[in-house]
Structure 1
């Protein structure tokens, strides 16, 4: 049962999730706990991936998350998630996270990350996902870099030998 769905654009998978940072979400410094943010990011990314493939999805990997700016108690968190590339049964989801101080009226970038999800069929086996159509220059840049990021994830996960990562090697070795 591998009926390939019609290709979709990146913006069709866009999810913007908004949360308010409450006391129970913070550490002793009054900053949003990293684990809580990653939990919210996983939900937003799963929604974007599920929206792209119209199927249940499971998290396959989470790339490096660097926290650029802390998000304080009482601030608002905006998580923007959308599919950056679709492979055979998996999808890479790119996320940007913004904090917003409503009293001072400014938004600031907190971090960005890539999560990978696998679509599942009714028997909980991987299923084919729709292709992704890129429209903007940024979407094309994210799409092009996704193959290198995927190869790096596979190498780090022990599922690919470094010498097999042609796209990644070409990025470092010119000639």
Structure 2
């Protein structure tokens, strides 16, 4: 069950990051004018993900209170991550140190959001029928990571060590 919760939380929390990253990029001269458009696209992606999961998991009327709490956390996480990514994109000519600090802030927000998401999903998952649990487990299980090439401990999909260029950080 823990694995399913972690996969669920990863998939959902990252949906905000992926949605933000896939928002159309605007020309630098119109960045301020396009911010509401990007935000609307990001919010639409989060809402699309919520609607997809609601349908896929076959949420019943009795489960709606737990679902609403879970969906609200997804929205909040998506908004937080969207704002942080927007701030990061808007920051020009930052030093390597500032860039790392921005990334650390995003990573911490992601971790905090994941905790909130797991806490909200726990009562929902526990309210599921065996069929719904199986649907959730299948929906959120992605072997090898989101792109199928997730690496652990410097090893690739084949189990062989990753090439030095992938496994090490060069200055």
TM-score, normalised by the number of residues in structure 1: 0.31
Greater relative contact order (Cα < 8 A, sep 6+): 2
Task: Please identify which structure carries the higher helix content.
Answer: 2
Where is the strand percentage greater, Structure 1 or Structure 2? 1
**TM-score, normalising length from structure 2?**
0.31
